[in-house]
Structures are given as C-alpha cells and as structure tokens.
C-alpha cells in the first residue's frame, strides 16, 4: 500500500543520546514535513522540505535537524535528546505545498 512509513513506532531514549527518526514515502511527493504533537497544542511544524535537496525551519526547529538527500526519505535527528522532546512525531508529505498532506502513523518518543 502506498503511503508514508515511519520508524520506529515507539522508542524510549535516555537524555543526552542521539536518535534518528526515519520517514519514507513512496508517492513521489515533492514536499515533506515533520511535526510534533503534544497534548493541548495540536501539531507543530519542526522542519519541512519543499523538494529534494532543500530544507526549512518550522515553528519549533531547535534541537532537531533534517536532511533531504532524495525524494523519498526525510529523516529527523535529535542530536542530544532532552525530556521536553518527549512527544509523538508525525511525518507528512504532499505533492506540493498547497496540497493536502498525507501522514505517517507517528513515532511515540519518550526521553527519560
């Protein structure tokens, strides 16, 4: 089934460790996004990429980095995790910036 695959599904991580959340899409969408979802705050954009080779900062980029080496993959890296990064992370993609975004199933990350 076409769509977005996120891995891992969930993870418990010690503070100070690094972690990369993986996101792969097979829809050949140009735009990809990373959000975090926290209770009462909805979704907040961390980073985005309008096309392969380009990335941009969203609303809450600090502590996170991304890369977009090709169309399909958009990994999110936490270089040194902190407890405030405990959240559910969603990856999304769209054909272009205007189009509806399609979401992965999310990664539940707990930083202890």
Partner 1 sequence: AQKVTQAQTEISVVEKEDVTLDCVYETRDTTYYLFWYKQPPSGELVFLIRRNSFDEQNEISGRYSWNFQKSTSSFNFTITASQVVDSAVYFCALSEANSNYQLIWGAGTKLIIKP
Footprint of partner 1 (CB under 8 A)? 33, 40-45, 48, 50, 56, 58, 88, 90, 92, 97-98, 100-103, 105-106
Q: Look at strands 107-111 and 10-13 and give their pairing.
A: parallel
Question: What φ, ψ does residue 46 adopt, rounded to 5°?
Answer: -95, -60
Cβ-based nearer residue to partner 1, 13 or 45:
45
Cβ-based nearer residue to partner 1, 7 or 43:
43
| Residue 100 beta carbon to partner 1: minimum distance, rounded to whole angstroms | 4
Cβ-based nearer residue to partner 1, 58 or 63:
58
| Residue 28 beta carbon to partner 1: minimum distance, rounded to whole angstroms | 18
- Which two three-digit tokens encode residue 45? 């954009």
Cβ-based nearer residue to partner 1, 40 or 62:
40
| Residue 86 beta carbon to partner 1: minimum distance, rounded to whole angstroms | 16
DSSP per position, 4-60? EEEE-SEEEE-TT--EEEEEEESS--SEEEEEEEETTTEEEEEEEESSTT--EE-SS
Asked if 46 and 58 count as a contact pair (C-beta separation under 8 A), the reply is yes
């Amino acid at each position: 089934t076409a769509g977005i695959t996120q891995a891992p599904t969930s993870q418990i991580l010690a503070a100070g460790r690094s972690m990369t959340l993986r996101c792969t899409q097979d829809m050949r969408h140009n735009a990809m996004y990373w959000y975090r979802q926290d209770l009462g705050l909805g979704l907040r954009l961390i980073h985005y990429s309008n096309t392969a080779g380009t990335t941009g900062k969203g609303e809450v980029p600090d502590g996170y980095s991304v890369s977009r080496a090709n169309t399909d993959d958009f990994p999110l890296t936490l270089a040194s995790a902190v407890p405030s990064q405990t959240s559910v992370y969603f990856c999304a993609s769209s054909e272009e910036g205007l189009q509806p975004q399609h979401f992965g199933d999310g990664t539940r990350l707990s930083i202890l």
